[in-house]
């Protein structure tokens, strides 16, 4: 199958080429993001492979279908960036990688928590400048703290498993509680109870119309003063303006973000020579208790290897009619 891979970085090429044994598929790597303007670059392809900030809206999908593309291969679990109704209208099949390494994202979530708490990022810089003062670096024991997990699917469950090892009390909110979490001692509660009781709140639900700005001014009012809020899920689950207000009035004591609602214009590129035009993002960077990473939760060798393997297996299954095709359809209620 001819597959055009958009938003391709050198690491995508490394892992996809390594996985594409015997050149089963013909892979073409393109740096530009996929959108209505760049879709014409897929001319001659049977499938396109897209990443999280590619724009798979009606215009893009129409353009792809007109060029003969039949299959959209998402190299992500999330599919909130795809207009599934439009894909159906255009006769396009959409497939994704449902789970490639929940541990990668769960471990990165833990890294944000530990770094924010013990301020290892600041300590690193201090020691390099021969400043061995501990002023301002005081943290807290995670042991016996209450951690609220919103969304206990594959990543939320892996995260619960890590946190149970720290001796934390675990609360969760999810419309579909799972037994694995219950066995870890997770107490399922309603959202207001979780918001009010948790020292740390971590988001692991998908971005859907219901979860858009789930963390807004009203939710912040219900939280413990000084709460640690972590979002490694999707940016728009958090209302950035409300969170900035929460940082200013000290409701939020720590904020860790791996995703940002307007990340499309910022992340995955070296912008160190550029001026940041996003004033909300620039404001977030001014707080000493905010730690932001550029959507790297998934970024481990194991995850990249699984993403390449499952994406190409989806292509093979679509082409041959054999094996598992991880198709995304409109019927699916809980996108990840
Ligand atoms: N930062 C990264 O690099 C990265 C990588 C992979 C996935 N993600 C994001 O992590 C999120 C979780 O991924 P996953 O693989 O665990 O998904 P999953 O589908 O396995 O789990 C999602 C869970 O959220 C629950 N949920 C749905 N609506 C909810 C709501 N309104 N409130 C609370 N819970 C709700 C579902 O019932 C499900 O249990 C996804 O949004 C995905 O896009 C981020």
Q: Three-state SS string across the chain, please?
A: CEEEECCCCHHHHHHHHHHCHHHCCEEEECCCCCCCCCHHHHCCCCEEEECCCCCECHHHHHHHHHCCCCEEEECCCCCCCECHHHHHHCCCEEECCCCCCHHHHHHHHHHHHHHHHHCHHHHHHHHHCCCCCCCCCCCCCCCCCEEEEECCCHHHHHHHHHHHCCCCEEEEECCCCCHHHHHCCCEECCHHHHHHHCCEEEECCCCCCCCCCCECHHHHHCCCCCEEEEECCCHHHECHHHHHHHHHCCCEEEEEECCCCCHHHCCCCCCCCCCCCCHHHHHHCCCCCEEECCCCCCCCHHHHHHHHHHHHHHHHHHHHCCCCCCECCCCCCCCC
Quote the pTM value: 0.93
More confident residue, 53 or 331: 53
Q: Quick one: pLDDT at residue 22?
A: 82
Cα separation values, 140 from 15, 112, 226, Å = 40, 14, 12
Identify the residue whose C-alpha is closest to ligand 1 atom 5.
298
Is the separation of the CB atoms in 97 and 75 below 8 Å? yes
Whether the CB of 334 sits within 6 Å of ligand 1: yes
Residue 265 CA to ligand 1 centre (angstroms): 23
Atom of ligand 1 nearest to the CA of 205: 24
Q: Mean pLDDT, to the nearest integer, of 238-261?
A: 98
Which ligand 1 atom is nearest residue 176's CA? Answer: 37
Summarize the confidence of residues 183-205 as an average pLDDT.
Answer: 98
Please indicate whether residue 232, judged by its CB atom, sits closer than 6 Å to ligand 1.
yes
Measure 129 CA to ligand 1 centroid, in angstroms. 41
> How far does the centroid of ligand 1 lie from the alpha carbon of residue 212, in Å?
13
Position 332 pLDDT exceeds 90: no
Residue 49's φ and ψ, nearest 5 degrees, are: -115, 125
Tell whether ligand 1 has an atom less than 6 A from the beta carbon of residue 148: no
Q: Distance from the CA of 36 to the center of ligand 1, in angstroms?
A: 27
pLDDT tens per residue, range 71-112: 999 999 989 999 999 999 999 999 999 989 999 999 999 999
| Ligand 1 atom, smallest distance to 210 CA | 31
Average pLDDT value for the chain: 96
pLDDT at 331 over 80: no
Q: Does residue 264 carry a pLDDT above 80?
A: yes
In this structure, the residue with its CA closest to atom 44 of ligand 1 is 233
Centre of ligand 1 to C-alpha 193, Å, is 20
157 CA to centre of ligand 1 in angstroms: 10
Specify the residue with its C-alpha closest to ligand 1, atom 18: 153
Per-residue pLDDT reduced to its tens digit, 48-71: 999 999 999 999 999 999 999 999
Using CA positions, which residue lies closest to atom 20 of ligand 1? Answer: 153
Q: For ligand 1, is residue 105 a contact (CB within 6 Å)?
A: yes
Rounded to an integer, the average pLDDT of 11-20 is: 97
334 pLDDT exceeds 70?
Answer: no
- Give the closest residue to 205 by CA, choosing from 180, 183, 234, 171: 234
* Structural domains of the chain, ranges and CATH numbers in brackets: 2-100+300-328 (3.40.50.720), 102-292 (3.40.50.720)
User: Is residue 16 within 6 Å of ligand 1 at its C-beta?
Assistant: no
- Say what the pLDDT of residue 336 is: 32
Which tens digit of pLDDT belongs to each residue from 127-159?
999 999 999 999 999 999 999 999 999 999 999
pLDDT value at residue 330:
82
**pLDDT in the model for residue 165:** 96
C-beta 156 within 6 A of ligand 1: yes
> Measured at the alpha carbon of residue 90, what is the angle toward residues 72 and 304, in degrees to the nearest 5?
10
Atom of ligand 1 nearest to the CA of 156: 16
Mean pLDDT, to the nearest integer, of 103-125?
97
Give the pLDDT confidence score for residue 21 in this predicted structure.
Answer: 87
Task: Decide whether any atom of ligand 1 lies within 6 Å of the 176 Cβ.
Answer: yes
Q: Is the minimum distance from the CB of 144 to ligand 1 under 6 angstroms?
A: no
| C-alpha to C-alpha distance for 23 and 282, rounded to whole angstroms | 45
181 lines ligand 1 (CB under 6 A): no
pLDDT above 60 (res 234): yes
What would the pLDDT profile of 277-313 be if each residue is shown by its tens digit?
A: 999 999 999 999 999 999 999 999 999 999 999 999 9
pLDDT score recorded for residue 18: 96
């Amino acid at each position: 199958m001819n597959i055009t891979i958009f938003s391709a970085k050198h690491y995508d090429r490394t892992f996809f080429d390594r996985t594409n044994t015997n050149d089963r598929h013909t892979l073409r790597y393109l740096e530009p993001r996929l959108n209505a303007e760049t879709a014409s670059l897929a001319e001659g392809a049977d499938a396109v492979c897209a990443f999280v900030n590619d724009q798979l809206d009606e215009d893009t999908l129409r353009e792809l279908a007109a060029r003969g593309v039949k299959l959209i291969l998402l190299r992500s679990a999330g599919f909130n960036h795809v207009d599934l109704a439009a894909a159906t209208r255009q006769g396009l099949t959409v497939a994704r990688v449902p789970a490639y390494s929940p541990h990668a994202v769960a471990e990165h979530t833990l890294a944000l928590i530990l770094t924010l708490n013990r301020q290892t990022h600041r300590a690193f810089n201090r020691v390099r400048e021969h400043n061995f003062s501990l002023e301002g670096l005081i943290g807290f024991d995670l042991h016996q703290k209450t951690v609220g997990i919103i969304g206990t699917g594959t990543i939320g469950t892996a995260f619960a498993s890590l946190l149970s090892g720290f001796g934390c009390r675990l609360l969760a909110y999810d419309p579909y509680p799972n037994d694995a979490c219950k066995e870890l001692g997770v107490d399922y509660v309603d959202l207001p109870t979780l918001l009010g009781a948790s020292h740390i709140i971590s988001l692991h639900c998908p971005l859907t119309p219901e979860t858009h700005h789930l963390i807004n001014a009203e939710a912040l009012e219900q939280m413990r003063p000084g709460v640690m809020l972590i979002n490694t899920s999707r940016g728009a689950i958090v209302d950035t303006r409300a969170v900035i207000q929460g940082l200013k009035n000290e409701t939020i004591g720590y904020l860790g973000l791996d995703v940002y609602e307007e990340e499309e214009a910022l992340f995955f590129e070296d912008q160190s020579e550029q001026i940041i035009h996003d004033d909300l993002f620039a404001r977030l960077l001014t707080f000493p208790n905010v730690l932001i990473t550029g959507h790297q939760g998934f970024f481990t060798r194991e995850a990249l290897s699984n993403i390449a393997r499952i994406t190409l297996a989806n292509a093979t299954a679509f082409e041959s009619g054999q094996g598992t095709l991880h198709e995304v359809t409109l019927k699916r209620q809980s996108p990840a």
